[in-house]
Amino acid sequence: MSDGYVREIKSLRKEIKRLNGSLKLLRDQKNLAEGRLYNHMKKNGIEKIDGITINSVIPRGEKLPRKKKSEKKRDAIELFQEIGVSDPEALWLEFQSTQRYQNQNEVSEKSQNGSGKGYDPYLGF
């Protein structure tokens, strides 16, 4: 019976590889068409054509790069200082912890201890 599974897996892998090749060609064609449409829209000052906006067809090289983690931290701490947070570094660390998943044990411990309330920058505690 395991021979059947092996043949099925090999067959599926082969089909996925074939489809990925076809998808690559289609993506390349789409990117070329989007680049040409972007240039046309930019040249003629058009923001939207038939449901396609200029922002949705911006070529990769022209999109803004993502901020580095250190830049995000610096900007956030500056903002926290501007609004009067007494300990901006601690607030940043607490904010970062809200952006990650916690395992279920940590969540239940916090709710039992009552320490999961967090820091309110407007109340100061």
Residue 123 covered by a domain? no
Q: What is the pTM of this model?
A: 0.46
With 0-12 / 13-18 / 19 or more C-beta atoms within 10 angstroms meaning exposed / middle / buried, residue 57 is: buried
Among candidate residues 52, 123, 50, the one with its CA nearest the CA of residue 86: 123
Residues 6+ apart with CB under 8 A from 41: 47, 49, 54, 57
Task: Clarify whether residues 92 and 42 are in a common domain.
Answer: no
Q: How far apart are CA 73 and CA 30, in angstroms?
A: 36
Task: Clarify whether residues 74 and 91 are in a common domain.
Answer: yes
Mean pLDDT calculated for residue range 53-82: 88
Q: Which of 31-40, 52-61, 64-73, 108-117 has the lowest mean pLDDT?
A: 108-117
pLDDT value at 28 more than 70: yes
Number of domains present in the structure of the chain? 2
Q: How far apart are CA 57 and CA 107, in angstroms?
A: 42
Mean pLDDT calculated for residue range 21-39: 94
Decide: 79 and 117 in contact? Cβ < 8 Å.
no
Residue 124 covered by a domain? no
Task: Clarify whether residues 56 and 6 are in a common domain.
Answer: yes
Question: Across the chain, what does the average pLDDT equal?
Answer: 84
Q: If pLDDT is split at 50, 70 and 90, which confidence band does 10 have?
A: very high
Task: Clarify whether residues 55 and 10 are in a common domain.
Answer: yes
Residue 23 covered by a domain? yes
Residue 125 covered by a domain? no
Task: Clarify whether residues 40 and 74 are in a common domain.
Answer: no
Mean pLDDT calculated for residue range 1-13: 90
Q: Which domain holds residue 26?
A: 2-62
Task: Clarify whether residues 79 and 52 are in a common domain.
Answer: no
Task: Clarify whether residues 58 and 91 are in a common domain.
Answer: no
Decide: 51 and 37 in contact? Cβ < 8 Å.
no
Share of the chain above pLDDT 70, in %: 79
Task: Report pLDDT for 101.
Answer: 80
Task: Clarify whether residues 84 and 38 are in a common domain.
Answer: no
Decide: 54 and 38 in contact? Cβ < 8 Å.
yes
